[in-house]
Structure 1
Amino acid sequence: MTGTDTPAEPGALVDGPVVPASSLQVYREVGDLKRLRDARGPGSLADRAFVRSWRAVLADPSPGAVERVALRESAHALVAARLAGVDAAVLELAGLTRGERLDVLQRAFDAVTSSAQGALGGLGDVRAALEADPVDEDALPAAPEFVHALVRQPRAGATHPVRPRVVVEPPESHGDHCFVTAVYSAFVAPRFGVGRGEAFLVALAHHLPNGDLPDAGFGGEVLLGEHYQRVLAALEERSMAQLPGALATRLRELLPQRETTGTPIGRVFNTADVLDRVLQVHHHARAAAFTAAQALDDLDIVHPGPVQEFQLGVLAAAGIPVR
């Protein structure tokens, strides 16, 4: 979605850049949850977290409970950046005690956040959320249909009204984008004096119209022209009608702020949204430029260990270069 932004006040960004360059690697790794999968369910880890987040919000949409959802999901997104689908449930299945599980989760959290060298700001409340008991997903209410539709709905990618679409495969889903934008929003919210829960909720809900509206991107918005806002409003209401009244009322108050940078919530959302959209493009550019040497030299795909020499010998004899 796009809108006419009101310029932020000169003092809106305090204490340097909201997203310092030294923190970008963390954002990139969290964005990769769109591309990580495991055998426990369909879709990416981000898609599944998007559905789980909505179900948790519906279970208790009070501000305090939504704050806890934002903290928990942000904490586990950081853990998953390094451990992928290895979470507390998997570790419990393997027989680790609660203390051992927490130790592993905290170790992964610290490993990924250390690359930012403190540039992400204070994350003590996020890290502390790892100590909470895992969510009993079986006890959560079902997600509304628009949530599942957003997981099925692919993002348009780069489009323009008078130029051919740039098609990249595989496309991310709206669930992917909304969840990652929600986590980014939770990261930057304190910089603008916004609660992490409120910021998370706005981003989680910011594509409600796309439950019914296939994504034609910027090009589609321009070509819909004078009809665009009416189409958007009508289809947003179709999704909003699937929510409890109090939550829908709250979102009707919050969501218009995504179209401006004149409010703290608007600045949080637009920071997170543009980061995710542009880092997604950078991901595809990096994937297209990936070389075998990066995997072999930089990532040690033939891992150091007792069998490495044998494996390198196999590759050399087969004529497969490894250096």
Structure 2
Amino acid sequence: MPREALRAVVPLLREIGDLKRVRTAGSGASMAERSFCRSWAELMRDGDPDRIAVRACAAAVAGARLAGIDGPVLRRCGLTAGDAVAVLERSVAQHADRLDPVTAGLLVGALPDLVRDPCGTDAAPGFAAALCAQPRAGATCPGRPRLMVEPPESHGDHCWAVAVYGVLLAEPFDAAPGDVFLLGLAHHLHNAVLPDAGFTGEELLGRHLPTVLARLTRQRLADLPGALTARVEPLLALREGADAPAARAFHAADVLDRVLQVRHHARAAAFTAEQALEDLDLVHPCAVSGFHRAVLDAAETA
């Protein structure tokens, strides 16, 4: 178990996970959901899964600090391709101590691809949109009420996060990034049809569960080109164990995302104004910060 690598990368995973909650004008989908659908669209166009994996991960790491300011946005703002890449490089560099050198090199090498207009999502299979519309169950335990948190993440959010986290963990687990990425994207295909009732629902389905999951997964795999199905289907079998390198990287990414998602809701529920004012420097230094503080003092809100 690569303990040091896992401990180093967790703060970055936490920031990347916030892209599930970042939205921009012109789309009701989160940045995570948009990348999820775009990745499937690129795969449907016979894109190279290994290259798509690294490109999606590079965009996620850059977006950890830039949020919705991605390569195409920078170009529309008037930056040259070189200047846009430089901005993305500065964002990725803020996480240099969280990345192993091999992965960091792959991500930086993919950044020039990110300043071009991305392909649309029209080619994405129908299950991609369904997964983005299907809420996750949250924390459930057989025999107990569900722990409800609002707003729930979607399966598109979760599958994207697991896929991207898996790419970041591929090198420490000696796995192929493309394999882990595909497994992350596809591991909840059945939930395009099956609403999520969590572990409780799985227990109540009982002996029917394996048959239902297999049937629904086969139906969704049939929506993919034959070559892509041939690569994805054997990867899905890796979910049953943690022996193969790709399986270990995937399961590490999956469990980390589930726990980090719950911790996000816990942090959000405990948020205080002092954290924004003091820790995050909400009233930050600027030309008129003295006036800002005088206003707050006069209004007795500081």
* Smaller-chain TM-score bracket: over 0.9
Q: What is the rounded CA distance, in whole Å, between the counterparts of 1:135 and 1:248 in structure 2?
A: 28
CA RMSD across the alignment: 1.7
- For 1:277, the equivalent position in structure 2 comes to 258
**Does the Cα contact within 8 Å between 1:159 and 1:218 map onto a contact in 2?**
yes
1:60 CA drift (Å): 1.4
Q: How does 1:214-253 map to 2 (within 5 A)?
A: 214-253=195-234
Match of 1:147 among 86, 104, 128: 128
Cα distance change of structure 1 residues 67 and 144 upon mapping to structure 2, 3 Å threshold: same
Find out whether 1:76 has 2:62 as its counterpart: no
State which drifts further: 96-105 or 186-195: 186-195
Deviation at 1:119, TM superposition (A): 5.7
| Gapped regions of structure 1 (runs ≥ 5) | 1-12
Q: Is 1:106 aligned to residue 89 of structure 2?
A: yes
In 2, distance between residues paired with 1:145 and 1:278?
29
Correspondence for 1:193: 174
**Mapping of residues 151-190 of structure 1, within 5 Å:** 151-190=132-171
Whether 1:311 and 2:270 are equivalent positions in the alignment is no
User: More displaced, 91-100 or 48-57?
Assistant: 91-100
Q: Aligned to 2:145, what secondary structure does the other structure show?
A: strand
Structure having the higher helix fraction is 2
Amino acid at match of 2:52: V
1:48 matched to 2:34: yes
- Gap change, CA 1:123 and 1:271, over 3 Å in 2: same
Q: 1:23 corresponds to which residue?
A: 9
**C-alpha contact 1:19 1:120 (8 A) present in aligned 2:** no
Q: Which amino acid aligns with 2:37?
A: V
What's the counterpart of residue 66 of structure 1? Answer: 49
| C-alpha contact 2:72 2:118 (8 A) present in aligned 1 | no
Q: 2:81 touches 2:115 (CA, 8 Å); kept in 1?
A: no
Query: Structure 1's 18 and 214: CA in aligned 2 closer, same or farther, altered over 3 A?
Result: farther
- TM-score (normalizing by structure 1): 0.89
In structure 2, C-alpha distance between the alignment counterparts of 1:23 and 1:96, rounded to whole Å: 31
- Which letter maps to 2:74? L
The 3-state SS of whatever aligns with 2:26 is: coil
CA contact (8 A) 1:23 1:119 kept: no
SS of residue in 1 equivalent to 2:78:
coil
Percent sequence identity over aligned pairs? 49
- CA contact 1:51–1:148 (8 Å) conserved in 2: yes
Letter paired with 1:77? A
Specify every segment of 5 or more residues in structure 2 that has no aligned partner in the other structure, as ranges. none
The CA distance in 1 between the partners of 2:199 and 2:120, in whole Å, is 39
Whether the 8 Å CA contact 1:25–1:115 is kept in 2: the answer is no
CA contact (8 A) 2:38 2:119 kept: no
